[in-house]
Amino acid sequence: MDGIHDLGGKPGHGEVVVEKDEPAFHSRWEAAVFAMEAAGIAAGVWTNVDRFRHAIERIDPIAYATHGYYGRWLGGIENLLVEAGVVTRESIDARMEKMGGSLQDLVASRPNLVPDPVGDEPAGRGSSRVVNRKPKFATGDLVMTSRKAKSGHTRLPAYARGKTGAVVLTHDAWVYPDSNAHGQGEDPQYLYTVQFTGSELWGAGDENIKVSLDLFEPYLSAVDGRKLS
Amino acid sequence: MTDHDREPQAIRAEALESLLIEKGLLTADAIDEVIVRYSERVGPMNGARVVARAWIDPDFKQRLLEDGTSAINEFSFEGGRIEKLVVVENTEKVHNAVVCTLCSCYPWAVLGLPPRWYKDPQYRSRIVREPRTVLKEMGLDLPADLEIRIWDSSAEVRYMVLPQQPEHSLGKSEQELAQLVTRNSMVGVESL
């Protein structure tokens, strides 16, 4: 989905701020949120990273931009816990008020009223799968990415849509996030690292820049069977 | 308590934490363990050991560049499963840097948890579009004829940069070299 999370190439963002001697966590609550992710998996509430990533993409966009990394995680985790019926939004609100919070504050989570099916989501198997077909592309092939925007989860960023690049690395078939995130099965697909020139992506500029992305086979089509010269 | 602890998301996190502890889904010990693991055991010191070995052992370096996933198994690092690690080498002609524009994917097992700047919109939006400018702002002024390759981690492959060994460090031991290798050099936003 073309959400606020899809940041590649978006204009208007300023200088990168580097914090000196940054700790792993800035506050205990950040570590608590980190631990909740493992707790949710242990409880069987979610078992795949695609569903988890999509839950974060679905949070309030203003919260996404302002609540920080663990604030985004909190929103995603709350989405999944509420959708699974483990907690209710009201119970979190009530506890928060008791602990000195205000109900006027922006809440990141936006749980779906009709959640995606959980489906068959075996945990802990990793993402690589064996499939009974050959990959369509090989190293050096020129490929074009899909032009279509998707309403659900996808790992083709908007900035790389409708662009021509060259396959530089090939990988095994991996669980397809666009399907797996929505409880529609693993549907494993071959994965390729595709390299684009900066000018192909951005229209002009520095010819000495290459950007590579890891893209699933359904995102790609052949460009006249051509090879990279 | 700092101001950061009283941000609305901090209070909501604590509220959810207390509910999950009551339900038996979370424990205070699990939270403490996360802090210790990522403060003391899983961090860029692991990647630094990999880089130091690659600098002194050409056979290891070759294995690392050909199949990073198998090469780092020699170290038995804990935490943060990496499905496939690709190590990209900085040379006289090519400089590499890593990003995840869609979320914040990062090779946890070798570099630990990502720093805040890696997860912030500024880096994620700009490094793919104007890498030379962003790197210069971060203190890395690269010559115009040096090719820059950005690796956007859009699936489960994880990337780590093998920085060039500084000349002044030639002849040092593997342990001494590991002390020189910084996190930012392994993400590709710093040269050593």
User: pLDDT tens string for chain A (229 positions)?
Assistant: 999 999 999 999 999 999 998 999 999 999 999 999 988 887 788 878 899 999 999 999 999 999 999 999 999 999 999 999 999 999 999 999 999 999 999 999 999 988 888 766 665 578 889 999 999 999 999 999 999 999 999 999 999 999 999 999 999 999 999 999 998 989 999 999 999 999 999 998 788 999 999 999 999 999 976 676 5
**CB–CB contact B8 A156 (8 Å):** no
**What is the CATH code for A128-227?**
2.30.30.50
Catalytic residue among B18, B39, B70, B103: B103
Contacts of B107 (CB under 8 A, 6+ apart): B47, B80, B82, B85, B158, B159, B160
Q: How many angstroms away from the CA of A164 is the closest CA of chain B?
A: 16
- pLDDT for the residue B113: 95
Query: Beta strands of chain B (E only): which ranges?
Result: 84-89, 94-99, 147-152, 157-162
Is A103 touching B (CB cutoff 8 A)?
no
Cβ of residue A106 closer than 8 Å to a chain B Cβ: yes
Q: Do domains A1-112 and A128-227 have the same CATH topology?
A: no
Ordered by start, the domain boundaries in chain A are 1-112, 128-227
Among chain B residues, CA nearest to A82? B16
To the nearest whole Å, the CA of B125 is away from the closest chain A CA by 4
Residue % of chain B over a pLDDT of 70: 96
Give the pLDDT score at B80: 61
Distance from CA of B171 to the nearest CA of A (A): 28
A35 and B112 within 8 Å at the Cβ level: the answer is no
Whether the complex's predicted ipTM is more than 0.90 is answered with yes
List of chain A residues whose C-beta atoms are within 8 Å of the C-beta of residue B91: none
Domains of chain B listed by start with CATH number: 3-40 (no CATH), 42-187 (3.90.330.10)
Residue B118: pLDDT over 80 = yes
Collect all residues of chain B within an 8 Å Cβ-Cβ radius of residue A10.
Answer: 121, 125
pLDDT at A121: 61
CATH topology of domain A1-112: Cyclin A; domain 1 (1.10.472)
- Establish whether B70 is a catalytic residue: no
For B120, which of A17, A49, A100 is closest by C-beta distance? A17
- Known catalytic membership, residue B105: yes
